[in-house]
Amino acid sequence: SAVISQKPSRDICQRGTSLTIQCQVDSQVTMMFWYRQQPGQSLTLIATANQGSEATYESGFVIDKFPISRPNLTFSTLTVSNMSPEDSSIYLCSVEVGGVTDTQYFGPGTRLTVL
Amino acid sequence: GQQLNQSPQSMFIQEGEDVSMNCTSSSIFNTWLWYKQDPGEGPVLLIALYKAGELTSNGRLTAQFGITRKDSFLNISASIPSDVGIYFCAAHFGNEKLTFGTGTRLTIIP
């Protein structure tokens, strides 16, 4: 398994500003993921962050809006840029652990409210 | 894209009752995962299934990987108040991304 921490746990931000969310894992992992969960909804994958390469974004998500860093095998950041109220969501970091029997574990999430 | 149809969407049960929920898809998967999410928290992995037909237990929880590889169910026996939350199924095939179900919200009536 993996123990994942996220900072901040929650924030209230003004429209037009940016917020950077940090994700720290207690072990080295190859695959890290960032998800968004809008109120009352399931999880939607934003991007996959691999160390040493650019993040791979899912349809509907772009690097200018959600820049991601992955400087090493235990850490990643997601920035939500030029925020609007529609960006109010829970943002979740996730890691894949294993090889043949790969499994994903999630961090506690960052609850973002944009006014 | 791939979709997981999770049912029921919500359940209202009395403490002590058994719970059953399932996920179905038109696509084949080779890993099924079941998560529970409490309010304000991230999803916590409950059970992972890697083989068609596999039946795995974790305390009062039991999950099965359907023999067709297109479905999975989760049972909770003798529910207790801390079972309240949202349960998500998730599945993937090979190196493809994880696909999530829509969730089952479990409420326990006092």
Is the CB of B88 less than 8 angstroms away from the CB of A42? yes
| B50 in contact with A, Cβ within 8 Å | yes
What pLDDT digit, counting tens, does each position of A20-46 carry?
999 999 999 988 999 999 988 999 999
The rounded percent of chain A whose pLDDT value lies above 90 is: 82
Environment class of A11 (CB within 10 Å of its CB; exposed 0-12, middle 13-18, buried 19+): middle
pLDDT of residue A26: 95
> What tokens appear for B107 in the block?
């409420």
Q: How many CB pairs under 8 A join A and B?
A: 44
What pLDDT digit, counting tens, does each position of B34-80 carry?
999 998 899 999 999 999 999 999 999 999 999 999 999 999 999 99
- 3-class DSSP state for residue A60? coil
What pLDDT digit, counting tens, does each position of B77-93 carry?
999 999 999 999 999 98
CB A46 within 8 A of CB A34: yes
Count of beta carbons in the 10 Å neighbourhood of residue A67: 16
pLDDT of residue B97: 86
